[in-house]
Amino acid sequence: MNDDAERLNKLTMELRRGLLVMAVLEALVKPHYGYSLRRFLQDRELEVDEGTLYPLLRRLESQQLLASEWEVQEGRKRRVYRLSEAGETARAAMQTEWQRLNRALTQITENTP
């Protein structure tokens, strides 16, 4: 990979990391277990591999933004993740900030020769 492609890849990955946190919080407005969350995101064109998603879920839970519990679904024991109260607050704040940033970027893009 040449330097330009590597630089672009790093920038893209940085953007995706921040967006992924927001996407997971948005998706968990409805409870999901790991695989169903991954499929939900994938169905909306956001590919996330297991090696990224599960550590993120554990981190968000350790930050008390998510709560989880084991449930039996379809005869299988699965860890189901839900937004905590703090997670709902963070989700709403991130949504507001996302909208503000999106408006600012649109204005910059539309007003730059």
pLDDT tens for the chain, 113 residues long, are 688 899 999 999 899 988 999 999 999 999 999 999 999 999 999 999 999 999 999 999 999 999 999 999 888 999 999 999 999 999 999 999 999 999 999 999 999 88
Per-domain boundaries in the chain: 3-110
Total-model pTM: 0.87
The C-alpha atoms of residue 86 and residue 65 are separated, in whole angstroms, by 5
pLDDT of amino acid 78 = 94
Characterize 87-104 residue by residue with b for buried, 16 or more Cβ atoms within 10 angstroms of its Cβ, and e for exposed.
Answer: beebbeebeeeeeeeeee
The C-alpha atoms of residue 80 and residue 34 are separated, in whole angstroms, by 7
CATH among 1.10.357.10, 3.40.50.970, 3.30.1860.10, 1.10.10.10 for 3-110: 1.10.10.10
Question: Which one, of 75, 81, 22, lies nearest residue 48 by Cα?
Answer: 22
Q: What is the DSSP letter of 63?
A: T
